[in-house]
Every structure is written in C-alpha cells, then in structure tokens.
Amino acid sequence: MASSDADIAAVFMVEPGHYEWPAILLAASLRAFATDRISIHAYCRASLIDQLHADTVTWFERHGIELAAIEPEFEVIYPQGNKLYACAAKRQAPATILFDTDILLLRPIRLAETLVEGCISGRPTGPWMWGKTAEEWRPAYESVGLDLPRLRLGRPNGSFTAPSINAGYVGYTEQGFGEVWRDTALEIERKRLAKGIYPTLDQISLAVATERAGLLFNFIEATWNMSGEINRQAVQKLNIYHYQKAERLLDLPVKWLADALLQDSTDFASLEDLIAFYDREAARPVEVLHNEGYWKAVIRKQRKVDEPHKP
C-alpha cells in the first residue's frame, strides 16, 4: 500500500547478516496478516545499507517495502537503539508501530486494536529490566529535568518499580513522538546520571519519553509480543511471537507457517532454505549484533564507557 493511503506505518530494522532473513520473514507476515491499511518501512544504518544483499533490496522493492537509511549519533555503537532513529524518521501515516526484527505475526490481526490516542502502547517489561526499584529510575527522569512519576509496576516475581514498556513492539499515534524518544535517549546517555544503561537505554528512554511527551502508558496483553521460550501449545494462542532465536521457530509448530509465508511471497521453499541462503551469502559486518566479532566491536565498547549500575 502507498504510504499516502496508510493508517499505520509498520517500522523495523534490517541490517546485513543476522538481521536480513528475519526482516524478510517479518515483512512477509505483515503483508499476509496485518488487516489494517499499513505501509511497511525498513531502516538500516547508512554506513551499512550498501552491504545489504541485493536479493533483500530487490524483494523489498518488489513488495512495496520502503527501505531508508538512518544515521545514529550515540556516543558508542548502540545497535539496540537504531530503532529510535527509525521511529524518528518522517513518514506519512498518522500512527506508527515499531517491531523488533525477530518477530513473526501468526494470524490475521488488526494492529489498530493496540493503539490508543494519547498513549504509548506495549507490553510491560519483565523482571530482568533495568531499575529494580522506583528510586533507581529517578536519575533517568532527572536527566531531562523531570521528577520521578507516581506510577508503579508490580510484577509476579514481587518486584515493585516504575513502569516501563518492552521496546520489541511499540505503538503510538502522536507524530513526533519518535523524535522525543530519540532525543531523550541521547540526553540520558550524555548526562550519565543513570548508570548501567546499556543495553536497555532504548527501554529506559521510552518510559521517560512517554512522561516527557505528556503521554500515558497503554499496557497490552502478552499475546501481542510474547518473547523467549514457549511451549508448543501456548505459541498457537499468540497473535505475535518474538522468537529471538531461529532454533525456536524451527522447533515449534508454527514453523509450517513460516514456510507457507515464504512460499507465498519469496523464492524460498522453507525457513531452513532462507536461513541457509543468508548464512552462506550475506555480508557480516561486526557492527551488527550477533554477527561474528560483534561482542568485541559493540558490547566491549559499551561496557568500557558505561558505569556499573549499583542498586
């Protein structure tokens, strides 16, 4: 669908190597299962976009997926934050839904069901999230001149803290929020009042940006962004699965669905074929997470400048 006709912009990152085949699979599932009027937008760092495989670019062009470059300006290489620049990019659709690349839609769904005017929609973060208590969040808010808000989030594990949203699926209707989110992350990073901010700066800044923009949290059900390990019965009840690892898709009873999506819109017969092609043919720059050498090129540099977070 042309961007000018879309109600929702579906946004995700694509980068050479590890995040090429998931980008194609996500886009195929969006085309097949998003019942809304959507435009689909893939973003890649300007320094890497020329290393995308030609077949990836051709497939995007064939299916009307808009590929554009972004130029992140974090103090260190921070691939997890590229999505903030993707959200900040200009688009015509009035609403945006951001998807992590390693996500798969599993059935026909109306994405607009997760959108509420004046709110940022997403699933609450889990107990692994930065900021185990509300007080630990204070420096993040102080980084942009805000007081710690009154809202709290209680989790089943007993943690009681300030609320935050998992940045794997984020929806909003306020044009300009992506810029607020990006700028908030840059300010938190620059001030260094909050410690131990990598790799969760994207989610720390999302909560702070929501308050900064005068918006509200709209917490959605896990069925819209279930991540990690899941049993064979539970996965079939989801709208969206955030699989994170290829092995999970290959081992679960939704693998046939991935195969069917690929057969419907690509030249690949199966998920195994898709993965094998990119394992064999794709460029693998070290600046991309999970490509060989990324730990030294990315994670080590983040840790070198990131002061430990001490609860």
pLDDT, tens only, 245-296: 999 999 989 999 999 999 999 999 999 999 999 999 999 999 999 999 999 9
For the ranges 161-165, 233-237, 249-253, the lowest mean pLDDT is seen at: 233-237
pLDDT exceeds cutoff 80 at 161: yes
Q: What is the mean pLDDT of residues 207-219?
A: 98
Query: What is the torsion angle, in degrees rounded to the nearest 10, for the CA atoms of residue 133, residue 162, residue 221 and residue 184?
Result: -120
Question: 228-252 burial, b for 16+ CB within 10 Å, e for fewer?
Answer: eebeeeebeebbbbbbbebebbeeb
- Among 107, 70, 112, smallest CA distance to 95 is for 112
**Domains and their CATH numbers in the chain:** 3-305 (3.90.550.10)
Which residue is listed with tokens 């579906």?
10
Distance (Å, whole) CA 86 – CA 44: 8
Please report the sign of the dihedral spanned by the C-alpha atoms of residue 144, residue 146, residue 149, residue 154.
positive
pLDDT at 1 exceeding the cut of 70: no
pLDDT of residue 2: 65
Q: What is residue 141's three-state secondary structure?
A: helix
Percent of the chain surpassing pLDDT 70: 98
Query: pLDDT band for position 308 (50/70/90)?
Result: low
Mean per-residue pLDDT of the chain: 95
Q: Of 121, 209, 199, nearest to 166 (Cα)?
A: 121
Give the model's confidence band at 311: pLDDT under 50 very low, under 70 low, under 90 confident, else very high.
very low
At 284, list the tokens.
Answer: 């693998």
Query: pLDDT tens, 80-121?
Result: 999 999 999 999 999 999 999 999 999 999 999 999 999 999
